[in-house]
């Protein structure tokens, strides 16, 4: 199971950042890195300090938080008031969201839905929670007999598509309208860590590797179009990417923004779809404290 120090979500032109230091805080930013408000601290549940694996912000601006210490998906307003989330699951069965590690959100009110991935090798590791009741249904794995081999981050795409990263197999898996659709290998045989779909069907994939990782732009079938960032420690390079967020501008590769969280959550870098880096923000003196607190 991958442990992260930072998670990202983008909605309505706002970049939401969840990070450790010294407690888990969720803060809205613009895409130039400026904080829009102080955000909120995710409070402990039942006396246990929160540990965030993933966040997603829906069309109603609810913030969905995968809290691995509470072992459930919690919901908050944009101002930090806790709402009813999803119940804690048990076992490997339909509708039981146990040991969640990733979430994404789509739609509004009656059409709202979440996609949630659970850790470990299991048959029911990926669920769709739909509608106002958010009743959960299981998405079948590519190989029903084998099940899933440990999922990472998830994302909604266009035309009813859902994506899930499976780092151990090197695959990004895709479902359409609840049915398994196809799978593609991450570029260069890497382990996919995060995927974000663009409104035109293309995707941005962040992946791990011995060289520090990479960020690629791929087409709707998963074929490599362009490398946005290679592995390395300098600005414009990535070191162990953890998550992605995208602000898509139709018809403009240069104006579209891709935010990459890397370097154990200490850095957020902003790229466009041509691979230009506009700089980094978030690196600060308490990076080592965040890293220690998430271990």
Per-residue pLDDT tens digits for 143-153? 877 889 899 99
Task: Give the start-to-end residue ranges of the domains of the chain.
Answer: 6-289
Residue 213, pLDDT score: 96
Task: Name 204's Cβ contacts closer than 8 Å, sequence gap at least 6.
Answer: 195, 196, 198, 215, 216, 217, 218, 228, 244, 246, 258, 273
* Residues in the chain where the model's pLDDT stays below 50: 1-2, 284-295
> What pLDDT score does 144 carry?
78
What the block records as the tokens of 283 is 């690196």
Q: Which two tokens stand for residue 215?
A: 């960020």
The predicted structure's pLDDT at residue 3:
57
Q: What is the pLDDT of residue 271?
A: 97
CA distance 106 to 50: 24
In 3-state terms, what secondary structure has residue 188? helix
pLDDT at 283: 52
Q: Which CATH number is associated with domain 6-289?
A: 2.120.10.30
* Cβ-contact 185, 170 below 8 angstroms: yes
- 129 pairs with which residues across the strands? 114, 136
User: How far is it, in rounded angstroms, from Cα 169 to Cα 164?
Assistant: 12
φ/ψ (deg, to 5) at 15: -100, 115
Determine the 3-state secondary structure of 285 from DSSP: coil
pLDDT at 92: 82
Residue listed under structure tokens 């549940």:
45
């Amino acid at each position: 199971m991958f442990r992260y120090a930072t998670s990202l979500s983008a909605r309505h032109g706002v970049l939401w950042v969840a990070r450790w230091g010294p407690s888990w805080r969720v803060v809205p930013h613009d895409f130039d890195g400026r904080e829009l408000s102080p955000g909120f601290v995710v409070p402990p549940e039942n006396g246990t300090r929160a540990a965030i694996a993933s966040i997603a912000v829906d069309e109603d601006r609810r913030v969905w938080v995968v809290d691995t210490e509470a072992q459930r998906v919690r919901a908050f307003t944009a101002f930090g008031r806790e709402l009813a989330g999803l119940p804690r699951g048990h076992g490997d069965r339909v509708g039981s969201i146990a040991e969640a590690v990733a979430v994404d959100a789509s739609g509004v009110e009656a059409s709202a839905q979440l996609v949630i991935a659970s850790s470990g090798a299991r048959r029911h590791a990926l669920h769709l929670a739909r509608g106002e009741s958010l009743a959960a249904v299981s998405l079948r794995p590519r190989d029903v007999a084998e099940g899933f081999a440990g999922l990472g981050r998830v994302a909604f795409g266009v035309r009813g598509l859902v994506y899930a990263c499976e780092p151990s197999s090197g695959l990004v898996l895709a479902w359409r309208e609840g049915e398994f659709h196809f799978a593609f290998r991450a570029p260069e045989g890497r382990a996919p860590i995060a995927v974000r779909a663009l409104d035109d069907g293309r995707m941005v994939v962040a992946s791990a590797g011995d060289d520090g990782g990479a960020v690629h732009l791929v087409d709707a079938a998963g074929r490599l179009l362009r490398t946005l960032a290679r592995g390395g420690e300098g600005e414009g390079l990535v070191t162990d990417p953890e998550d992605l967020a995208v602000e898509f501008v139709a018809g403009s590769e240069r104006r579209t923004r891709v935010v990459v969280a890397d370097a154990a959550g200490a850095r957020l870098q902003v790229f466009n779809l041509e691979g230009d880096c506009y700089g980094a923000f978030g690196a600060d003196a308490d990076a080592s404290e965040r890293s220690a607190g998430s271990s």
